[in-house]
Amino acid sequence: MITLFVLTTILFFMFRLLPGDPLTMYLDAALPVESQEMVLKQFGLDQPLSYQYLIYMKNILQGEFGRSFYYRAPVAKIMGERLISTVLLMGISILMAFVMGVVSGTIMAWKRGTKFEIAGLITGLTFKSAPEFWTSLMALLVFSYTLGWFPIGGMHTPGQEFTSFAAKYFNLDFLHHLILPSIVAAIFYMATPMLIMRNSMLEVMTEDFVEMARAKGLKERTVMFRHAMRNAMLPVITVLTLMIGFAVGGQVLIETVFRWPGMGREMVLAIQRHDYPMAQASFFVLGVLVVSLNFITDILYGYLDPRVTYR
Amino acid sequence: MSPMQNQSTAINAPAGAARVRRFRWARRIGRSAADQFAIFKQNKLGMAGLVILLFFIALAVFAPYIAPHDPMETLMNPDGTMARMQPPSLDFPFGTDRMGRDILSQVIIGSRVAVGVGVLCAIMVVIIGTNVGLIAGYFGGKVDDILMRITDIVYGIPFLPFAVILVALLDPGIFNIILAIVLITWRSTARVVRAQVLTIKERAFIEAARVSGAGNFRIIYRHIMPNVLPLSFVYGALSMGWAILTEASVSFLGYGDPLLMSWGKIIFMCYVAQAIMVAWWWVLAPGLAIVLLVLSGFFIGRAYEEIVNPRLRAR
């Protein structure tokens, strides 16, 4: 909670310091002075900074984020749509990355010392070393432009109208647009759980209960997947918190390249347009997202590991 | 033995002993470095990473002499037309961009920024993260609490958006980018170092040092730190990779240093020229360079991890 508070305060001051006066969008120098003052008053920008700060805090608590300078619409409404898009993409990518990473990490530890392990290591690390925007660009180039399997970007084919939430997100077109960005994102995020899983499995494999399972005559595959993997997964969940911070950042790049209308892309665009309320709010929401996801992961870890107790 | 002789030996002996004693720390560092390198050498990937890194460092240092053309110079074909958008050929091994500039030269000059940012950030993250971890882990209590709170707050900040905002706030110069990267990255190192310090703190030799009257800082820096340093190096190598990726990402979004050529900026220029779908060579070369350099950092970091955790070593 304190984290959030400090975050919002830092945000407030940072954005007031940003160069570029957004008011030039609204204020025309030809306007008479009284009108200019009226606009200032409307946005509350004529009050002393401390008063603005209090109003800002109060507004945030009430979920009121002001009006966007660029869109001339309430920020909250725009952000709602963007947030859903981002969460959908991010959620699916992280889920895929987690599953793929855990499974491949397990297999790698199982086949320790073989070429498979080294190949897996190199592949995983290579994907982690490739900047997300580059992988996205290459994927677009090969799969969308040259082969034509997937659309070039965006979330929907342009020019469509949707009647409801379900209609908007549960159709085939959406899935078609979703596949490439989510796979690219998943490949990028996959390396970390894979490596951690492998390390953790190597440690778990030396423990007594694994030996016991083998002595019982269980198939190696059962030993690996049913017994060892479950226990080795815990450190991966800890690392999930680390990943989420990076994932949100990575979202920005992937959304930009694929023109996916999400929070990350919106924030960068807002900064470019000097749209204070939009940029501020999106950064805030991203921060809240990261903090809450970390919180959930902590609780998940406490739930999964019976040795951990919380006061 | 005459008193004269006694005196001369008496005078020489303390000086000789002091000289031997004075550089004992240098020899000790040399010995442990040799030991570590022996272990490191066994990891083939780590050695490969080291070779790649040294190659890029050499490239960065000698870049102005190696690059065949000026990276911003518009080049002409022999027949007088501008050499724009040419796929790789013998003349231009990496092709040219829309303004007729040689991409190979751009990549070579860009390596300076990449290597510089990577190495600088790695060093700073190691210094800051290790110290914070040492102090928090050793002193515990309130100091630990405050420091950990700060790292938690840093944790809540999404990486890239923060970097973009910081760079947009201050000027988009290279040092601000480095600042943003270091501000976010030191957290992992500090956390891990602190955990390690907590375990080392309880060991017998620390107790022995304390009993023999060593002060707090002496214990920290003379006894605990050498044991924690390999771990810091692991995270230093990893941070180098992250730093280069972040700098490339920030440049790609358009907030890179306008005066310097960097690999991310090359891709950004292609993106802005809307030539991505047409000029695959423009994007491929700088991207591969980034991958190679970051990979080398990760390989080295992982190889060092084997020094830290003997269970990971190849049996």
Pairwise pLDDT comparison (A150 vs A310), residue with the higher score: A150
Greater model confidence, A181 or A4 = A181
Chain B's closest residue to A242, CA to CA, is: B155
pLDDT for the residue numbered B1: 47
Q: Does A129 touch chain B (CB under 8 A)?
A: yes
Average pLDDT score over residue span A107-130: 81
Answer yes or no: is the ipTM higher than 0.85. Answer: no
Nearest by CB: A133 against B249, B277, B280: B249
Average pLDDT rounded to a whole number, residues B17-21: 61
**A chain contacts of residue B254, beta-carbon cutoff 8 Å:** 272
CB contact under 8 A, B155 and A138: no
pTM: 0.78
> Which of A289-298, B9-18, B156-165, B300-309 comes out lowest in average pLDDT?
B9-18
Is it the case that residue B8 has pLDDT exceeding 50?
Answer: no
Confidence of residue B215 (pLDDT cuts 50, 70, 90): confident
CB B133 within 8 Å of CB B186: no
Across residues A137-145, what is the average pLDDT?
Answer: 80
Res A174: pLDDT: 75
Q: Hey, is the C-beta of A290 within 8 angstroms of any chain B C-beta?
A: yes
- Residues in chain A with CB shorter than 8 Å from the CB of B267 are 133-134, 137
Q: Per the CB < 8 Å rule, is A133 touching B267?
A: yes
At B49-79, the pLDDT tens digits run 888 888 888 888 888 887 777 777 777 777 7
Better-scored residue on pLDDT, B193 or A241: B193
Spatial separation of the C-alpha atoms in residues B170 and B15, rounded to whole Å: 55
Residue A306 clears pLDDT 80, i.e. is over it: no
Does residue B192 or residue A291 have the better pLDDT?
A: B192
- Considering only CB atoms, B169 lies closest to which of A18, A246, A253, namely A18
Among B44, B238, B253, which would you mutate to test the A interface (most chain A Cβ atoms within 10 Å of its Cβ)? B253
Cα–Cα distance for residue pair A193/A184, rounded to 1 Å = 16
pLDDT at position B117 over 80: yes
Cβ pair A130:B277 closer than 8 A: no
Q: Decide: A78 and A68 in contact? Cβ < 8 Å.
A: yes
CB contact at 8 A, B274 and B215: no
pLDDT, position A163: 59
Poorest-confidence range of A22-36, A88-102, B126-140? A22-36
Mean pLDDT value of segment B122-142: 86
Which among B188, B277, B290 has the least Cβ separation from residue A134? B290
For residue B281, give every residue at least 6 positions away whose Cβ sits within 8 Å of its Cβ, in sequence order, or none. B87, B88, B94, B95, B103
More confident residue, B282 or A164: B282
Beta carbon pairs, A and B, within 8 Å: 141
CB contact under 8 A, A113 and B314: yes
Which range among A83-87, B47-51, B154-158, B185-189 shows the weakest confidence by mean pLDDT?
B154-158
Top mean-pLDDT range of A282-296, B76-90, B259-273: B259-273
A296 touches chain B (CB under 8 A): no
State which residue of chain A sits closest to B315, comparing Cα positions: A113
Per the prediction, chain A carries an average pLDDT of: 72
CB A79 within 8 A of CB A285: yes
Least confident span in A172-186, B4-18, B93-107, B111-125:
B4-18
How would DSSP label each residue in chain A? -HHHHHHHHHHHHHHHH-SS-THHHH--TTS-HHHHHHHHHHHTTTS-HHHHHHHHHHHHHTT---B-TTT-SBHHHHHHHHHHHHHHHHHHHHHHHHHHHHHHHHHHHHTTTSHHHHHHHHHHHHHHHS-HHHHHHHHIIIIIIIS--S-SSSSS-SS---SSHHHHHSSHHHHHHHHHHHHHHHHHHHHHHHHHHHHHHHHHHTSHHHHHHHHTT--HHHIIIIIIHHHHHHHHHHHHHHHHHHHHHHHHHHHHHHT--SHHHHHHHHHHTT-HHHHHHHHHHHHHHHHHHHHHHHHHHHHH-TT----
**A19-24 contacts: CB < 8 A, separation 24 or more?**
A19/B169, A20/A274, A21/A274, A22/A69, A22/A274, A22/A275, A22/A276
Structure tokens at A217: 């005559």
Predicted local distance difference test score (pLDDT) of residue B122: 92
Nearest beta carbon to residue A130 from set B291, B311, B315? B291
Inspect the interface and report whether the beta carbons of B267 and A6 lie closer than 8 Å. Answer: no
**A-proximal residues of B, 243-282, CB under 8 Å:** 245, 248-249, 252-254, 264, 267, 271, 276-277, 280
Task: Tell me the backbone φ, ψ of residue A238, rounded to 5 degrees.
Answer: -60, -40
By C-alpha distance, the chain B residue nearest A134 is B287
Calculate how close chain A gets to B254, using CA atoms only, in Å: 10
| Beta-carbon separation of A245 and B252 below 8 A | no
Tokens read off for A55: 């109003």
* Residues in B touching A17 (Cβ below 8 Å): 169
Average pLDDT, chain B: 79
Residue A123 pLDDT greater than 60, yes or no: yes
Inform me whether the pLDDT recorded for B208 exceeds 50: yes
Q: Which residue has the higher pLDDT, A94 or B172?
A: A94
**If pLDDT is split at 50, 70 and 90, which confidence band does B10 have?**
very low
Q: Which residues of A touch B247 (CB under 8 A)?
A: none
**pLDDT at position A224, please?**
67
**How large a percentage of chain B has pLDDT more than 90?**
4
The chain B residue lying nearest A292, using CA atoms, is B156
Selecting from B45, B245, B311 the residue whose C-beta is nearest the C-beta of A203 gives: B311
Q: Which of B61-75, B164-178, B249-263 has the highest mean pLDDT?
A: B249-263
Q: Which position has the token pair 């008053």?
A: A41
Query: pLDDT value at position B91?
Result: 72
Mean pLDDT throughout A221-250?
A: 74
Average pLDDT of span A33-48: 57
Which pLDDT band, with edges at 50, 70 and 90, does B5 fall under?
very low
Does the beta-carbon distance from A245 to B157 stay under 8 Å? yes
Asked whether residue B93 carries a pLDDT value surpassing 70, the answer given is: yes
Q: How confident is the model at residue A25 (pLDDT cuts 50, 70, 90)?
A: very low
Cβ contact B160–A202 (<8 Å) = no
More confident residue, A117 or B14: A117
At B219-231, the pLDDT tens digits run 777 778 888 888 8
How many Cα atoms are found within 13 Å in the side-chain-facing hemisphere of A225?
Answer: 8
Burial class (CB in 10 A: 0-12, 13-18, 19+), A311: exposed
Q: In terms of C-beta density within 10 A (0-12 exposed, 13-18 middle, 19 or more buried), how is residue B311 classed?
A: exposed
Residue B124, pLDDT score: 92
The residue with greater pLDDT, A150 or A188, is A188
pLDDT higher for B152 or B145?
B145
